[in-house]
A and B are shown apart, each in its own frame.
Chain A
Amino acid sequence: MSSRERILGRVRRALADVPPGDDAPVARDYLREHGERTVEETVDLLAENLADYRAVVHRTDTGSLPGVVAELLAARGAATVLVPPGLDTGWLAAAEVTRVPDEAGSTPRELDRVDSVLTACAVAIAETGTIVLDGSPDQGRRRISLVPDHHICVVRVPDQVVASVPQALERLDPARPLTWISGPSATSDIELDRVEGVHGPRTLEVVLVR
């Protein structure tokens, strides 16, 4: 007997007390979102919660975005920036940096030598201060937003912003590789106290663009 058959057999014997066919979907009486907010207030909450977990938040409009991106890269002293294949090239129009394309052949070591990465996102969650990347062409492969030490993520507000976790899951496609990011990398492993900055990007800048 294979282990598959053995385990399934054990499960079925263990559940002899369960009447067959009583599998109904569970009742969901919890809230779809917490509190009532206008669209504007939801965006404000996103900014507040991102900042609470030490992401650096900037707000601008489409026209000024290239200037803001250029400033952030210059302030960081970045000479090179990773660019996902489908990123709006206009976002980097004002930046004087070397653009490094995200190529399938690039090794982790090569990515490690790049100063910054610029991506879009799939959705942002106000209640938790979370941005979610889904590997779309304007976000690139998971590794590019991981290995460089500085990540700039552009969120289109208000259309990419949802209030809550349940609303975010409705918008996301489970078939895509998803990365949920809430602030820069952190740890609570020393005396259960939170410290920012371990393996992922130690600086996360989120640009909310109208």
Chain B
Amino acid sequence: MSGTFVGMPAFPAAAREAVRDTTLRGNLRHATHTIRAKRARAVAELDDWERLRQAGKRIKDRTLRHLDRYLVQLEESVTAAGGVVHWAADADEANRIVAGLVKATGETEVVKVKSMATQEIALNEALEARGIHAYETDLAELIVQLGKDRPSHILVPAIHRNRGEIRDIFTREMGEWGRPAPEGLTDTPADLAEAARLHLREKFLRAKVGISGANFMVAETGTLVVVESEGNGRMCLTLPETLISVVGIEKIVPTWQDLEVFLQTLPRSSTAERMNPYTSMWTGTTDGDGPRAFHLVLLDNGRTDTLADEVGRQALRCIRCSACLNVCPVYERAGGHAYGSVYPGPIGAILSPQLRGTGSDIDASLPYASSLCGACYEVCPVAIDIPEVLVHLRERVVEGGEAVREGNKVRLRPAKGHAAERAAMRAARWALTRPGALRTGQRLASRTRRLHPRTLPGPGRAWSGTRDLPPVPAEPFRDWWQRTRGGKGGAE
């Protein structure tokens, strides 16, 4: 996936650093609590919310279960409407295709709409290496780009920054990239938005190539949909002569009518609005209106591997609303960077280890970055059972087994570092299938209970470092039951 995150430490180490940062904790707490209450109000306005949620799930499942057919149908519709469709099996291929398309226009700069897919493939870095400058135009992406920072939230990549930090970044960096920040810039959000407007205006007006992702692609009509707030999306989608959209293959919906579900659930789940300020829909090219050339790059990059997992494939229903991040107690404290991926939070914890595999330290640790409280599942507008997939992926990490990587079946070895867990589980299985041995063991444990340490030694130390060991009772339960018949003291 993204080269930006190579060499990330495993989640516990990264999170330990993050929770010590009190500014970060304050920023995240403020932002996630603001949006939580608003989302709940926006959702409560629709008394058929649960039915919309289940319909969204069914539509996405239908897409995924027949993805090959809908991909071919989409290709036909887009081509018939004047677009050109490209297929990219991985990030490198997608980056090569996009760079080639930009070079063919003779341009050396592009304006970008916020897009998770292009973040995932690290398109900006790949273009820069080929002499093409990519300018992010979404306010939060601009803050991240100017701050030479990494995104930490799906919807608001700069959520870890407060207004004062943003003012400082604008004042310091805008001049390096184009029009400097106004003199005496304050930290009021309205002034910061105005500074971004002035800074980017020049870039929009001269742009010849725009790059976007898409929230939805309609197979039957070939229509692409981008949902946004600021108008930077509309600028990039309509002013340039060439438009290149990089979209994950799972973003398809079969029919035009299917949009009626997601255009109700997405805005309310993400920004907690009845409707986001701007939604653009385009089908191929239109004479005299908007770009004359439209290229659609369909991206796999681990999605078909995810699709091969019957439990894990539900992660591909995700519409990137970020509601699960905003309610997650782990995300609220650890922040987005600790997840080591452009997809942080609960959805990231199940998406990244599937898109990238569980080979690296960070990816093997992500399924554990959760308390399994289930708040993410409750708010998910397409009903992804994130706790179910987390537990499934934990099993894969510990036990190994079959998986698909780059289209090939592989057998994963059990991960290192879980030997004690496996040994404990084997011992438990042995004891629990032998009542005599279990009884002897329990009695022994009860008699020696004053000698038990408060933390486990050796490989168990990390586990008991954050947990209390359960106290062993003076008498095993079964002995107590036999003696007292459940507290009735054998009175009958």
Cβ of A203 under 8 Å from chain B: no
Cβ B205 vs Cβ A190 within 8 A = no
Number of residues from B at the complex interface, CB < 8 A: 98
Q: Does B35 contact A (CB under 8 A)?
A: yes
Stretch of B256-264, B327-335, B384-392, B446-454 at the chain-chain interface: B256-264
Total contacts A-B at CB 8 Å: 253
Q: Check A18 against B235 for contact (C-beta < 8 Å).
A: no
B11-46 at interface with A (beta carbon < 8 Å) = 27, 30-32, 34-35, 45-46
* Mask of B205-229 contacts with A, CB within 8 angstroms, 1/0: 1100000000000100101000001
Whether B283 sits at the interface, judged by CB under 8 Å, is yes
Does B293 reach chain A (CB closer than 8 Å)?
A: no
Q: For the complex formed, measure the closest distance between the CB of A5 and the CB atoms of chain B, giving whole angstroms.
A: 9
- Is A127 a contact partner of B204 (Cβ separation < 8 A)? no
Interface string of A21-57 (1 = CB under 8 A from B): 0110011111100100000000000000100010000
Q: What's the Cα separation between A17 and B235 when bound, in Å?
A: 44
Contact of B65 with A165 in the complex, beta carbons under 8 Å: no
Is the C-beta of B72 less than 8 angstroms from some C-beta in chain A? yes
- Mark A91-103 against chain B: 1 for CB-CB distance below 8 A, else 0: 0000000000000
A26 touches B59 (CB 8 A): yes
Decide if B238 touches A142 in the complex (CB within 8 Å): yes
B127 CB to nearest chain A CB (Å): 20
By size class, the interface of chain A is: 35 or more
Q: Report A178-210 residues with CB < 8 Å from chain B CB.
A: 178-195, 197-201
B229 touches A188 (CB 8 A): yes
B491 at the interface (CB under 8 A from A): no
Query: B188-196, B343-351, B365-373, B472-480: which one contacts chain A?
Result: B188-196
Asked if residues B62 and A195 are in contact (CB atoms below 8 Å), the reply is: no
Contact yes or no, B193 A187, CB < 8 A: yes
A183 CA / B280 CA spacing, docked (Å)? 14
Note all chain B residues with C-beta closer than 8 A to A195: 189-190, 193
Instruction: Pick out which of these stretches binds chain B: A6-14, A68-76, A152-160.
Output: A6-14
Could you tell me if B65 and A146 are in contact, using CB atoms closer than 8 angstroms? Answer: no
B278 to chain A, nearest CB (A): 6
Question: Which residues of A are found within 8 Å of B257, using beta-carbon distances?
Answer: 166, 169
Complex: A86 Cα to B257 Cα, angstroms? 29
Let me know if A182 and B274 touch, CB within 8 A: yes
Stretch from B154-162, B174-182, B417-425 forming part of the interface with A: B154-162
Q: With A179-B278, A181-B277, A190-B163 known to touch, is A197 a contact of B194 (CB < 8 Å)? A: yes
By a CB distance below 8 angstroms, the chain B residues around A2 are: 87
- Complex Cα spacing A23 to B156, Å: 36
Closest A-B pairs by Cβ, 9 of them: A200-B231, A199-B231, A10-B304, A14-B308, A128-B275, A198-B230, A180-B279, A189-B140, A185-B231
Residues of A bordering B, CB below 8 Å: 2-4, 6-15, 17-18, 22-23, 26-31, 34, 49, 53, 104, 107-109, 112, 125, 127-130, 135, 141-143, 146-147, 165-166, 169, 174-195, 197-201
Q: List 25 A-B contacts (CB under 8 A).
A: A6-B407, A7-B71, A8-B72, A11-B68, A11-B307, A29-B51, A129-B274, A129-B275, A141-B290, A143-B238, A143-B290, A147-B239, A174-B218, A176-B283, A177-B289, A180-B279, A180-B280, A182-B277, A187-B193, A189-B138, A190-B166, A191-B159, A195-B190, A198-B230, A200-B231
